Amino acid sequence: MTKMQDANTIACDLLTVCGFDESMLQAHFKKKQKNEKCAGVTVPISQERLDVLAEASTQGAHFAATGGQHFTLDDVFQAAEIPVRKEQIKKMEKSKKERSAGIALMGEAKKI
């Protein structure tokens, strides 16, 4: 970052010497602390992390969800299982609606 800051300062000074207003191009870079880490969006071993990992389709999305931390086998397998279970739930709900409609129809038929 210091090299970028020095280059920007030199360029702005050159613009000033040439008679231009450099104020729009000045940059002030903040130094990153050595102990500052990339924070993940989620906390390890949580349902939120599993949900985000299940929805993630690219490596960048996985990186953003974990903050660059390593996956555990539990995370990988559980996140892969979530879409499968959601699909099973949809099928069971559809079947339940069909059966409920059939029971109601049978009740109407027995009244006749």
Please identify every stretch of the chain with a pLDDT value under 70, giving residue numbers as ranges. Answer: 1, 32-41
pLDDT of residue 32: 66
Alpha helices of 2-72 — where are they, by DSSP H? 2-17, 47-55, 59-66
Residues 92, 79: Cα–Cα separation, whole Å: 21
Q: Tell me, what's the pLDDT at 81?
A: 92
Among residues 50, 55, 89, the alpha carbon closest in space to that of 71 is found at: 50
pLDDT of residue 99: 95
The alpha carbon of residue 36 and the mean position of all alpha carbons in its chain are separated, in whole angstroms, by 21
Residues 16 and 22 sit within 8 Å (Cβ to Cβ)? yes
